[in-house]
Copies of this chain bind each other. A is one copy, B any other.
């Protein structure tokens, strides 16, 4: 089903204007969600609609989709951002390191059509997960980082990524810090699973930090990556209860199950075009 995504300064009549464009093209609004951020005065809207077949298959084919976008744009205040979500699965690359649980879960889901994406490749700074990836017939690229500085390693990573041209990068426990320059190439298009309940326990070994602090709940955070490590807009968070019998290693183990669950939820939201950025916060229409 086509999805229209609109973001602009709030003013009177926006819903009427946007729904008018769809109506003129014989489209029927099936689901509509909107939100006005009171602090910024910004309007966000996600509209699922039924329309003539040409729109549904691919808005661009006969120009109906393009006309909907351009007419919506014309009906809105300056600075509006309007787009029609491209139908079909997103093209992604998964970056991993040594831990298998998030990657394994994605590969299984991918194999059976359970994520709205096509994994074009998996890339890792370690070789260990190559066998797992190979089982699923997905290309695996081992880009070791030993003896390289960050820039050199990222150049090697980019050399793999560029011919693929992925829409999104998924960091499935990729344990390397990305440079601002690298991140800038994929603005709001890198999804990370952070192995802690942000903003608690930022930095290294969060489960050991959590153990030291004696928390009764641990959790994981999926977020979009920005320059500020551990501080990008949050997509999904979830927690599980723990107690004094959990050693740090037990927290790590328990945490993996949550990480895997949280990352899968976040990817669904992003790949179904349900996420808007509002400064460093997300507006999610689910």
Copies in the complex: 4
Given A111-B132, A199-B200, residue A36 in contact with residue B26 (CB < 8 A):
no
- Which of B112, B219, B244 is within 8 Å of A217, CB to CB? B219
**Is A55 part of the binding interface, using a Cβ–Cβ cutoff of 8 Å?**
no
For A215, list chain B residues within 8 Å (CB).
198-199, 234, 237
Is A236 on the interface with B (CB-CB < 8 A)?
yes
Least Cβ–Cβ distance between A247 and chain B, in angstroms: 7
Q: Which segment of A27-35, A76-84, A148-156, A178-186 sits at the interface?
A: A27-35
Complex CA distance for A233 and B216, rounded to whole angstroms: 10
Assembled-state Cα–Cα distance A23/B281 (Å): 30
Known: A197-B200, A199-B200, A238-B217. A244 touches B278 (CB 8 A): yes
Is A214 a contact partner of B234 (Cβ separation < 8 A)? yes
Q: Flag A249-283 by CB within 8 Å of B: 1 or 0 each.
A: 00000000100010011000000000000101111
CB–CB B38/A247 < 8 A: yes
Contacts A108-B105, A234-B215 given: A31-B36 contact, CB under 8 Å? yes
Considering the chains assembled together, what is the distance between the CA atoms of A239 and B200 in angstroms?
14
Residue of B nearest to A15 (CB): B19
By CB atoms of chain B within 10 A, which of A15, A36, A101 has the most?
A15
A233 touches B214 (CB 8 A): yes
Give min CB distance, A275 to chain B, whole Å. Answer: 10
* A20 at the binding interface (Cβ < 8 Å): yes
Does A284 sit within 8 A of B, measured CB to CB? yes
Contacts of A197 in B (CB 8 A): 197, 200, 217
